[in-house]
């Protein structure tokens, strides 16, 4: 009899255990969806992680309820140190709470209220029920993270919107057809709700042209009147009139962009080569348009200041040497030529060096200490033999000697010291201006001895940081560079 009872108790415990596990699974499956989005490294699906979170008992409306401290939900995911919280309810009601005041406030769940906010210190209307999403919005005092959110460059000024700031703005909900589903003879149209902000809402005028750039290096020119910003799953997309004008993973927009681009260097060179005019390409690494403007203003006696006015030109994303270099010699964006950053050396399309080779003519690249891209034609590397901190003087000497002794259809001379100095002392540093002065003299001598067409430009610019300078972000300082096409030879005047 005793053994039978023990057996019955064992079965009973097993059944109870199974029911508890089952009920727990059921609870996890039936939780209403809740997302934390905005200025976070990734969207947090609270309803999915809730069962595994450590809960505490808090008193609320004279009851003990299980809850989680709000701040603890995002500690490992917040992009910024200081941010506001926007709680959005199912019926559209929302409140915005300062991040400094959410300590000792909680989130809980019940069948009738679903997700609700618990706070004894905020006004009573903070007690939002049936919360469907929580948006984190960076504090205005925070330094910007340019590789997230969206940056608009307007008249040379950076206007950055974090993802949280965009989600907290006025927006429209539109229905977008996502496809057609069929079963036998029956078909249904599948649609999604999309959260969009007309681009004109971010600008002071709709009658403007825009240059779009994506994280993947895609580039497109559009009209501000035709597009919207679409916010979906933590990503930002450009929504055009149709799929052909839309762009995924939008990074930034240049409003009323410069007419020139560093990609023009390929097309301009090709034009002159096809007309049997030799081309000298002078590549000033890291020389921004802002530095060019300062040079003209502060050093009118420099050779570069005496030349016809340089045009403003856009670089590509990422504004780093490999990507900018590739864009200059292919005439294509990183999305096409395959060179997105410093880690890539192989190109996925033809270069101006390939074109020269196919024509049976000679090309020359006079480079620094390292080969940056794998290209056709002759490449001459130069070490800093005199140990003066730069190989630009060796690059200059090699270029002058080789161009004096041999004929090339296309020659590129790549000076590095402006960029190198900018990293050490910043774009306005004393060392940077010393290098600019030296390179200015090298450019003068090369142009004056060249019998053909000359193109002068840069791969990217640079912005200042606490110590020195850097580049690689979607911002005006990094993306806007000078560009000039001119006839070589000594000015007879």
Q: What is the pLDDT of residue 2?
A: 46
Q: For 280-338, how does the pLDDT look when each residue is reduced to its tens digit (9 = 90+)?
A: 999 999 999 999 999 999 999 999 999 999 999 999 999 999 999 999 999 999 999 99
Residue 111 domain flag: yes
| Pairing mode of beta strands 311-314, 260-261 | parallel
Among 255, 275, 298, the domain boundary falls at 255
User: What pLDDT, on a 0 to 100 scale, did the predictor assign at position 164?
Assistant: 95
Q: Is the pTM of this model over 0.75?
A: yes
Q: Does residue 117 lie within any of the structural domains? A: yes
Shared domain for 301 and 243, answered yes or no, is no
Give 140's DSSP letter. Answer: T
Residue range(s) defining the domain that contains residue 421: 260-487
Task: Tell me the CATH number at 465.
Answer: 3.40.720.10
Closest CA to 247 of 215, 223, 224: 215
Is residue 452, in this structure, part of any structural domain at all? yes
Residue 28, pLDDT > 70, answer: no
- The continuous run of DSSP H or E covering 405 comes out as helix 392-405
| Burial status of residue 125 (CB atoms within 10 A of its CB: 0-12, 13-18, 19 or more) | exposed
Note whether residue 181 is domain-resident. no
- Which long-range contacts link 381-388 to residues 24+ away (Cβ below 8 Å)? none
Residue 143 DSSP code: P
Averaged pLDDT, 383-388: 94
Which residues is 398 bridged to in the sheet?
none
Average of per-residue pLDDT across 59-64: 91
**∠ Cα 435 441 444 (to 5°):** 140
Pair 238, 92 in one domain? no
DSSP E strand boundaries for 285-439: 311-314, 363-366, 378-380, 410-415
Q: How confident is the model at residue 22 (pLDDT cuts 50, 70, 90)?
A: very low
In-domain check, residue 473: yes
Any idea how long the chain is? 493
Alpha-carbon torsion 67, 70, 71, 75, what sign? positive
Mean pLDDT, the chain, integer = 90
Decide which of 255, 274, 294 is a domain's last residue: 255
Residues 314 and 328 in one domain: yes
Pairing of strands 311-314, 235-239: unpaired
Rounded CA separation 168/148 (Å): 16
Q: Total domain count for the chain?
A: 3
The answer to whether residues 284 and 334 belong to one domain is: yes
Which of 226, 255, 284 lies at the terminal end of a domain, its last residue? 255
- Mean pLDDT confidence for 223-232: 87
The residue among 262, 263, 265 whose CA lies nearest residue 453 is 265
Is residue 380 located within the same domain as residue 314? yes
**What pLDDT is attached to residue 492?**
55
pLDDT of 110-146, one tens digit each? 999 999 999 999 999 999 999 999 999 999 888 888 8
Each residue of 164-183: pLDDT tens digit?
A: 999 999 888 877 766 788 88
Q: Taking the CB of residue 23, how many other CB atoms lie within 10 A of it?
A: 10
β pairing state of 83-89 and 94-97: antiparallel
Do 88 and 161 belong together in one domain? no
User: Is residue 230 located within the same domain as residue 81?
Assistant: no
**157 and 98 within one domain:** no
Q: What is the CATH number of the domain that holds 87?
A: 3.90.420.10
Residue 79 has pLDDT above 80, yes or no: yes
Q: Do residues 287 and 162 share a domain?
A: no
Residues 235 and 323 in one domain: no
**Residue 248 clears pLDDT 80, i.e. is over it:** yes
Query: Given a cut of 80, is residue 61 above it in pLDDT?
Result: yes
Confidence of residue 23 (pLDDT cuts 50, 70, 90): very low
Give the span between the Cα atoms of 131 and 107, in whole angstroms.
10
Q: What local confidence, expressed as pLDDT, does residue 182 receive?
A: 86
The percentage of the chain sitting over the pLDDT mark of 90, rounded to a whole number, equals 76
DSSP 46-87: HHHHGGGSPPEEEEETTEEEEEEETGGGTTTTBSSSSEEEEE
Position 190 scores a pLDDT of 80
Token pair belonging to 248: 């995924």
Q: Is the pLDDT of residue 192 over 90?
A: no
Q: ∠229-235-238 over CA atoms, to 5°?
A: 30
Residues 349 and 478 occupy one common structural domain: yes
The pLDDT value given to residue 108: 96
Better-predicted residue by pLDDT, 86 or 141: 86
Same domain, 236 and 284: no
Q: Looking at the predicted structure, is the pLDDT value of residue 204 above 80?
A: no
Report yes or no on 122 lying in a domain: yes
Inside any domain, residue 12 = no
**pLDDT of the residue at 18:** 47
Residues ≥6 apart with Cβ < 8 Å to 312: 258, 260, 289, 480, 481, 482, 483
Q: Report the pLDDT value the prediction gives residue 145, as an integer from 0 to 100.
A: 86
The answer on pLDDT for 9 being more than 80 is no
| Helix ranges restricted to H, 275-379 | 289-298, 303-306, 321-330, 334-337, 352-358
Res 493: pLDDT: 52
Over 60: is that where the pLDDT of 1 sits?
A: no
Please report whether residue 130 resides in a domain.
yes
């Amino acid at each position: 009899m005793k053994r039978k009872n023990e057996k019955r108790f064992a079965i009973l415990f097993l059944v109870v255990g199974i029911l508890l596990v089952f009920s727990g699974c059921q609870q996890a499956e039936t939780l209403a969806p809740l997302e934390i989005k905005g200025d976070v490294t990734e969207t947090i699906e609270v309803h999915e992680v809730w069962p595994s979170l450590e809960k505490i008992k808090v008193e609320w409306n004279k009851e003990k309820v299980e809850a989680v401290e709000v701040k603890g939900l995002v500690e490992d995911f917040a992009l910024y140190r200081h941010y506001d919280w926007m709680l959005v309810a199912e019926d559209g009601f929302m409140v915005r709470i300062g991040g400094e005041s959410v300590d000792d406030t909680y989130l809980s769940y019940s069948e009738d209220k679903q997700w609700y906010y618990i706070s004894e210190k905020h006004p009573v209307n903070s007690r939002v029920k049936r919360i469907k999403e929580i948006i984190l919005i960076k504090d205005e005092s925070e330094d910007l993270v340019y590789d997230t959110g969206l940056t608009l460059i307007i008249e040379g000024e950076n206007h950055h919107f974090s993802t949280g700031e965009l989600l907290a703005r006025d927006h429209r909900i539109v229905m977008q057809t996502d496809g057609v589903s069929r079963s036998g003879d029956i078909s249904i149209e599948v649609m999604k709700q999309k959260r969009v902000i007309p681009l004109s809402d971010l600008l002071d005028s709709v009658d403007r042209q825009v240059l779009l750039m994506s994280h993947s290096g895609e580039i497109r020119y559009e009209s501000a009147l035709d597009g919207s910003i679409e916010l979906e799953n933590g990503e930002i997309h450009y929504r055009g009139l149709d799929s052909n004008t839309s762009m995924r993973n939008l990074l930034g927009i240049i409003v009323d962009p410069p007419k020139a681009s560093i990609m023009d260097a390929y097309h301009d060179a090709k034009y002159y080569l096809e007309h049997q005019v030799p081309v000298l390409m002078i590549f000033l690494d890291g020389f921004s348009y802002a530095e060019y403007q300062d040079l003209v203003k502060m050093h009118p006696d420099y050779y570069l200041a005496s030349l016809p006015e340089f045009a403003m030109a856009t670089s590509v994303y990422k504004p780093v040497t490999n990507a900018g270099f590739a864009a200059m010699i292919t005439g294509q964006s990183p999305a096409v030529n395959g060179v997105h950053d410093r880690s890539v050396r192989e190109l996925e399309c033809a270069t101006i060096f390939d074109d020269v080779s196919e024509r049976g003519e000679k090309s020359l690249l006079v480079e620094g200490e390292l080969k940056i891209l794998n290209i056709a034609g002759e490449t001459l590397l130069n070490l800093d033999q005199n140990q003066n901190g730069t190989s630009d003087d060796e690059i200059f000497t090699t270029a002058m000697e080789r161009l004096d002794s041999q004929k090339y259809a296309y020659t590129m001379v790549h000076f590095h010291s402006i960029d190198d100095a900018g990293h050490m002392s910043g774009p306005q540093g004393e060392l940077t201006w010393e290098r600019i002065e030296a390179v200015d003299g090298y450019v003068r001598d090369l142009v004056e001895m060249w019998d053909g067409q000359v193109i002068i430009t840069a791969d990217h610019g640079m912005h200042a940081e606490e110590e020195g300078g850097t580049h690689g972000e979607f911002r005006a300082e990094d993306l806007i560079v000078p560009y000039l096409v001119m006839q070589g030879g000594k000015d007879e005047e």
